[in-house]
Chain A
Amino acid sequence: MHRKPRLAVFKFASCDGCQLSLLDCEDELLAVAGAVDIVHFLEATSRIEPGPYDIALVEGSITTPHDAERIQEVRRQSRFLMTIGACATAGGIQALKNWADHEDFLRCVYARPEFISTLETSTAIADHVAVDFELRGCPINRHQLIEVLMSLISGHKPRTATHSVCLDCKRRGTVCVEVAQGIPCIGPVTQAGCGAICPAYDRGCYGCFGPAAQPNCDSLTSQYLGTGSTRETLVPLLHNFNADAPAFRDAGNRLQQSDTPSSTGGRS
Chain B
Amino acid sequence: MTESRSIRIEALTRVEGEGGLHIKLDGGMIEDVQLAIYEPPRFFEAFLRDRSLEEVPDITARICGICPVAYQMSAVHALEAALHVTITPEIRRMRRLLYCGEWIESHALHMHLLHAPDFFGVNSGIELAERFPNEVNRGLRLKKHGNELLEVLGGRAIHPINVAVGGFYRAPKRDELLRLIPDFEWGLQAAVATTRWVATLDFPDFERNYDMVALSHPNEYPMNEGQVASTSGLLIDVADYEGEFAEEHAAHSTALQSVRKSVNSCYHVGPLARVNLNFDRLSPLARRVADEIGFAPPCLNPFRAIIARGLEVIHAYEETLEILREYRPFKPPRVEYEYSAGEGCSATEAPRGLIYHRYAVNDDGKITFAKIVPPTSQNQRQIEDDLRDWLPDVMGDDDGQTALDCERLIRSYDPCISCSTHFLNLTVERTKS
Contacts and interface: CB of A to CB of B under 8 A. Distances in A.
Interface stretch (A74-82, A94-102, A218-226, A255-263): A94-102
A20 B14 contact: no
A96 B46 CA distance: 10
A48 B11 contact: yes
B174 to A, nearest CB: 16
A33 interface: yes
Interface stretch (B36-44, B92-100, B312-320): B36-44
Given A15-B63, A23-B113, A33 B46 contact: no
Interface residues of B, number: 68
Most buried by B among A14, A18, A19: A14
B46 A43 contact: no
A139 B13 contact: no
B429 interface: no
A11 B65 CA distance: 13
A179 interface: no
A132 interface: no
Given A21-B158, A30-B129, A46-B13, A63 B42 contact: yes
Interface residues of A, number: 63
B41 A43 contact: no
A48 B13 contact: yes
A52 interface: no
B119 interface: no
A18 B156 CA distance: 13
A100 B47 CA distance: 8
Given A43-B13, A138-B159, A109 B59 contact: no
Contacts of B422: 11, 16, 42-43
Interface stretch (B21-29, B141-149, B194-202, B288-296): B141-149
B14 A45 contact: yes
B13 A26 contact: no
B45 A108 contact: yes
B363 interface: no
B66 A16 contact: yes
B198 to A, nearest CB: 19
A118 interface: yes
B50 to A, nearest CB: 9
Contacts of A97: 43, 46-47
A161 interface: no
A60 B422 CA distance: 12
B62 A23 contact: no
Interface stretch (A152-160, A163-171, A184-192, A199-207): A199-207
Contacts of A17: 62, 64-66, 68, 158-159
B344 interface: no
B287 interface: no
B51 interface: yes
B62 A241 contact: yes
Contacts of A67: 40
Nearest to B105: A24
Interface string A32-62: 0100001000111111100000000000100
17 contacts: A13-B42, A14-B65, A16-B422, A17-B62, A38-B124, A43-B16, A48-B10, A67-B40, A97-B46, A97-B47, A109-B46, A115-B253, A122-B42, A197-B156, A201-B170, A203-B170, A240-B59
Given A104-B46, A111-B247, A112-B251, 5 more contacts: A23-B113, A48-B13, A63-B41, A67-B40, A116-B41
